[in-house]
């Protein structure tokens, strides 16, 4: 059958990204406690398209994804992107995978156990060099220092989302980034709690008030100390309980000279 995609295009315009987006596919991930964890990835896969070609072969992206579905990890990402480049005859390949990740947590007093969900992502680009970023979004509690200082009773608190993205030298666990975010908060969040746990966490948050600015600075101190992390961004969105808006803070730090800043914000 005639290969329409490979027809020569006369408009002389190259395209930066062509590929598939919004692909849902089962993936297998590395899990620090149990070895592996199955999840559902929301996947984007792209290559560059030279000016001479009319279109790319979309089916080949799915073929590669199917072959690598059990190996969506940093050690295998370079091989996956190399395969995409080879199959699509491209100079540059890119893949982003968003997925829910679950960690079993133990309540602080009752010790009841439950699974906590975190939204995570992998983002890899391969041209002449490999660039790879992992990201986590961690829900936490933040308690307002100003409210605590001016109020006769209690202080307003809310759920916050701490988002961390990192480049790194060697392998790093998602759980490590989750722990950094939770340690930087007024209190971490659990799926299942008993009344003694609620009392403990409420009082813990009261003793650890945090502005949005405090959350990102506390996380930055911990990210600075992590020897494997080369570059990071950290943000906090406090979904305010007494305001009709969120409070937000963001910072970025490069602990090295970036040679391939494709994924920089």
> Structure pTM?
0.89
Q: Which SS3 state, helix, strand or coil, does residue 223 take? A: helix
Q: Which SS3 state, helix, strand or coil, does residue 8 take? A: strand
Helical H runs in 45-189? 58-68, 74-88, 145-150, 174-183
- Can you read off the two tokens belonging to residue 18? 């062509």
pLDDT above 70: percentage of residues in the chain? 91
The whole-angstrom separation of Cα 242 and Cα 180 is: 27
What's the confidence (pLDDT) of residue 78? 87
The whole-angstrom separation of Cα 260 and Cα 123 is: 14
Q: Give Cα separations from 147 to 6, 10, 142, 143, 241 (angstroms).
A: 64, 65, 12, 8, 12
The whole-angstrom separation of Cα 60 and Cα 5 is: 12
Q: What is the CATH number of domain 10-254?
A: 3.10.270.10
Question: What confidence category does residue 6 fall into, taking pLDDT thresholds of 50, 70 and 90?
Answer: low
Is pLDDT larger for residue 170 or for residue 68?
A: 170
- Can you read off the two tokens belonging to residue 99? 């997925």
The whole-angstrom separation of Cα 21 and Cα 96 is: 9
Question: Residue written as tokens 């995570």?
Answer: 120
The whole-angstrom separation of Cα 136 and Cα 119 is: 6
> pLDDT tens across 200-232, in order?
999 999 999 999 999 999 999 999 999 999 999
User: Strand (E) positions, the chain?
Assistant: 15-31, 35-49, 93-106, 113-126, 130-143, 157-168, 187-188, 229-239, 246-254
What's the confidence (pLDDT) of residue 72? 76
Mean pLDDT along residues 168-179: 94
Nearest to 116 by CA among 181, 184, 202: 181
Report whether 251 contacts 220 (CB < 8 A): yes
Mean pLDDT along residues 31-48: 92
pLDDT above 90: percentage of residues in the chain? 68
> pLDDT tens across 241-265, in order?
989 999 999 999 999 865 555 655 5
What's the confidence (pLDDT) of residue 4? 52
CA 39 vs. chain centroid, Å, equals: 14
The string over 23-38, giving b where at least 16 C-beta atoms fall within 10 Å of a residue's C-beta and e elsewhere, is eebebbbbbeeeeebe
Mean pLDDT along residues 136-140: 98
What's the confidence (pLDDT) of residue 65? 85
């Amino acid at each position: 059958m005639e290969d329409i995609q490979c027809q020569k295009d006369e408009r002389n315009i190259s395209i930066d990204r062509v590929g598939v987006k919004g692909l849902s596919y089962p993936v297998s991930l590395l899990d620090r406690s149990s070895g592996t964890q199955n999840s559902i990835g929301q996947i984007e896969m792209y290559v560059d398209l030279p000016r001479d070609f009319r279109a790319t072969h979309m089916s080949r992206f799915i073929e590669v994804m199917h072959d690598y579905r059990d190996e969506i990890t940093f050690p295998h990402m370079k091989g996956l992107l190399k395969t995409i480049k080879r199959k699509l005859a491209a100079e540059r390949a890119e893949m982003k995978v968003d997925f829910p990740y679950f960690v079993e947590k133990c309540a602080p007093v009752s010790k009841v156990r439950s699974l906590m969900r975190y939204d995570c992502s992998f983002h890899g680009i391969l041209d002449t060099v490999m660039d790879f970023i992992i990201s986590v979004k961690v829900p936490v509690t933040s308690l307002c220092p100003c409210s605590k200082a001016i109020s006769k009773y209690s202080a307003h608190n809310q759920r916050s989302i701490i988002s961390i993205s990192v480049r790194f030298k060697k392998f790093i666990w998602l759980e490590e980034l989750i722990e950094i975010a939770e340690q930087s908060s007024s209190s971490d969040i659990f799926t299942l709690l008993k009344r003694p746990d609620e009392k403990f966490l409420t009082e813990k948050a009261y003793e650890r008030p945090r502005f949005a600015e405090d959350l990102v600075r506390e996380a930055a101190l911990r990210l600075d100390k992590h020897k494997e992390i080369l570059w990071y961004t950290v943000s906090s969105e406090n979904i305010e309980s007494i305001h009709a808006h969120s409070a937000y803070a963001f910072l970025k730090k490069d602990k090295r000279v970036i040679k391939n800043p494709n994924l920089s914000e």
